[in-house]
A and B are shown apart, each in its own frame.
Chain A
Amino acid sequence: MKAVWTIVRYGLEEALRRKVFAVVLLLTLGFLGLFWLGNHYAFKDLSGIGQPAGIDARDFAGSFIFGLAMFATLFLGVVLAIFLTLGAVRGDADRGLLQPLVVRPIGRTTFLVARFLGTVGVAGPYVLAVYFASMLITGLTGHWWPDRIVTPGLELAAAVALIAAISLLGSVFLTATANGIAVFMVFGAGLVAGLLGSIGHALNSHTLQHASKIAAYVVPVEALYQDALRQITADTTGLTQFVLELGPFGGAFIGGWQVRVWAVAYLGLVAAIALVGFARKDL
């Protein structure tokens, strides 16, 4: 256990010295400031907007703008997770930093698990903090609160944990730069698939919806994000719900317990491949 904590601390100290936390903190403060400004004007103007029949404007505005914050939270969490892990194996091995560590009795499995725990230990609470801060801003400014408070935040944190695992897997085989690009592209591909699904839902195209669903399961980060969006308007009904489900923020049609179970299985699969790959890798 002491060795795990040593590696966790080692990884986090490295991020601290490379100013990863400072950059993420600045980006976060910038985002929260802009988000407050957006909320302030959106809800200020809300009373002056003619409400379309069947649509609750406050529900729509609140969930849409908070859905946008969830996307930003996920994105910032993903950036943090990727920068904490992108060079964990091959990147550090190429620079000669890894070899002196893994010849010690701790072993490679402990090393990789510790790097994952260290990343999740930072990125998870970070995502939850930004999520709840955004919720407070929207709630206090616009008097709108999501239908589910905790679950969507946990799903966003889980999505970031999945990205951390994918990034660690990539770091076993790819150089730091190639891995960073690859993981961002995987994340981006998932988002695009989600948008395509929304378009398919609007056009009532079953083919597009089906393709989007498959893509969301191939990259369950997107499925978890969609489920989190679905949760914030879980009790919303009628035309408001239908319009929100068209996306891209405020609602979604992909979700349910299957997504969460699959995310856990996916994490196990990614972890297994990463551990086996690392164990067999020549350094």
Chain B
Amino acid sequence: MAAALAVRGLVKRYGRVEALAGVDLDVEQGELVGLLGPNGAGKSTLVKIACGLVRPSRGSADILGSPAGSPAARAALGYLAELFRFPGWYTADEVLGLHQSLARSRGGERERTELLELVDLAGARDRKVDAMSKGMQQRLGIAQALVGDPKLLLLDEPTSALDPVGRRTVRELLERLRGRGISVLLNSHLLSEIELVCDRVTILLRGEVVAAGAPSDLARPRGVEIETDEATLMYEAAGREDVPQLVADLVAAGRNVYGVSVLRSTLEDVYLDAVGGESS
């Protein structure tokens, strides 16, 4: 079974600037992969190559076995750009109708209704884009990306303009899409969001992959914290398997134990270790 997205040795140069320096990445079918990295790491370039907007200098990107940018590849994907706009005079329904025509979708009104409900915009069906908040436009953008039942979704910062409720809506939507077998490559700066929904993450730095894997595999133990009647004690070298002995020793020493936490690094710690504090 071909991967939803298979990237091999991808290089992109803009003059002397090397945006991508040989990236390998796979998104399997039904998998949700997060793409992380500081500004200028090459995340958007990678997504743009995958959807055929940018030509690679070297290497390949295949969508379900078809070269990125080919009609078959374009027919299989949905894309939400980081900086996008829809014509302000179109209503939400008309935007989806336009993309249905271009994607040759036969979903008709039923598909538009379903997509608007999915992104919580059913009540704004006839509202013009100009009269929508940035967050509503972003949710409409996600609905647009889902027109035509794509097999792979490429989302470039899909929640940057959303409030916490909107982010939660998108998170739940992504989980539902995974349930339907749709693959997603999610490019986002919101680490907590990626940690919550993604099966795997890839961290880019200066056009290269510096870390990749499941969030739980990337996280490392950070010790055990035990709350007693006298103080909160930190055992940095200890792991989960050491907890029974540590508690037993404390109780034997006459302490009362009120809580135990096995600490692991968060995705944020992993990210900061990988990029070395680089922000742009």
- Chain A interface (Cβ < 8 Å from any Cβ of B): 2-3, 6-7, 10, 13-14, 17, 95-97, 99-107, 280, 282-283
Name 25 interchain pairs, CB-CB below 8 A, sorted by A: A2-B101, A2-B104, A3-B102, A6-B98, A6-B102, A13-B87, A13-B89, A17-B87, A95-B85, A96-B85, A97-B87, A99-B53, A100-B79, A100-B80, A100-B86, A100-B99, A100-B144, A103-B52, A103-B53, A103-B74, A105-B103, A106-B102, A107-B74, A282-B14, A283-B53
Are B83 and A3 closer than 8 Å at their CB atoms?
A: no
By a CB distance below 8 angstroms, the chain A residues around B101 are: 2-3, 6
Task: Please name the residue on chain B nearest to A7 by beta carbon.
Answer: B102
By a CB distance below 8 angstroms, the chain A residues around B55 are: 280, 282
Which of A14, A102, A280 is the one whose CB lies under 8 Å from B87? A14
- Least Cβ–Cβ distance between B54 and chain A, in angstroms: 4
- Chain B interface (Cβ < 8 Å from any Cβ of A): 14, 48, 51-55, 71, 74-75, 77, 79-81, 83-87, 89, 98-99, 101-104, 141, 144
Are B98 and A282 closer than 8 Å at their CB atoms?
A: no
- Least Cβ–Cβ distance between B42 and chain A, in angstroms: 14
By a CB distance below 8 angstroms, the chain B residues around A102 are: 52-53
By a CB distance below 8 angstroms, the chain A residues around B102 are: 3, 6-7, 101, 104-106
Are B48 and A283 closer than 8 Å at their CB atoms?
A: yes
Give the 4 A-B residue pairs with the shortest CB-CB distance, closest first: A104-B102, A6-B101, A96-B85, A283-B53
Which of B77, B80, B85 is the one whose CB lies under 8 Å from A97? B85
With contacts A14-B87, A97-B86, A283-B54 known, is A105 near B81, CB below 8 A? no
- Least Cβ–Cβ distance between B160 and chain A, in angstroms: 13
By a CB distance below 8 angstroms, the chain A residues around B48 are: 282-283
Are A282 and B54 closer than 8 Å at their CB atoms?
A: yes
By a CB distance below 8 angstroms, the chain A residues around B54 are: 282-283
- Least Cβ–Cβ distance between B10 and chain A, in angstroms: 14
Which of B74, B86, B98 is the one whose CB lies under 8 Å from A105? B74
Task: Please name the residue on chain B nearest to A6 by beta carbon.
Answer: B101
Are A96 and B83 closer than 8 Å at their CB atoms?
A: yes
Which of A3, A6, A103, A105 is the one whose CB lies under 8 Å from B79? A103
A sample of 18 more A-B contacts (CB under 8 A), given A103-B79, A282-B54, is A3-B102, A3-B104, A10-B87, A10-B98, A97-B86, A99-B53, A100-B79, A100-B84, A100-B144, A101-B102, A103-B51, A103-B74, A104-B74, A105-B102, A105-B104, A282-B48, A282-B55, A283-B48
- Least Cβ–Cβ distance between B141 and chain A, in angstroms: 8
Which of A10, A13, A106, A282 is the one whose CB lies under 8 Å from B53? A282
Complex: A283 Cα to B69 Cα, angstroms? 12
Complex: A7 Cα to B99 Cα, angstroms? 11
By a CB distance below 8 angstroms, the chain B residues around A107 are: 71, 74
Are B81 and A99 closer than 8 Å at their CB atoms?
A: yes
By a CB distance below 8 angstroms, the chain B residues around A104 are: 74, 99, 102-103
Complex: A13 Cα to B98 Cα, angstroms? 12
By a CB distance below 8 angstroms, the chain A residues around B81 are: 96, 99-100
Complex: A10 Cα to B89 Cα, angstroms? 11
By a CB distance below 8 angstroms, the chain A residues around B98 are: 6, 10
Task: Please name the residue on chain B nearest to A93 by beta carbon.
Answer: B53
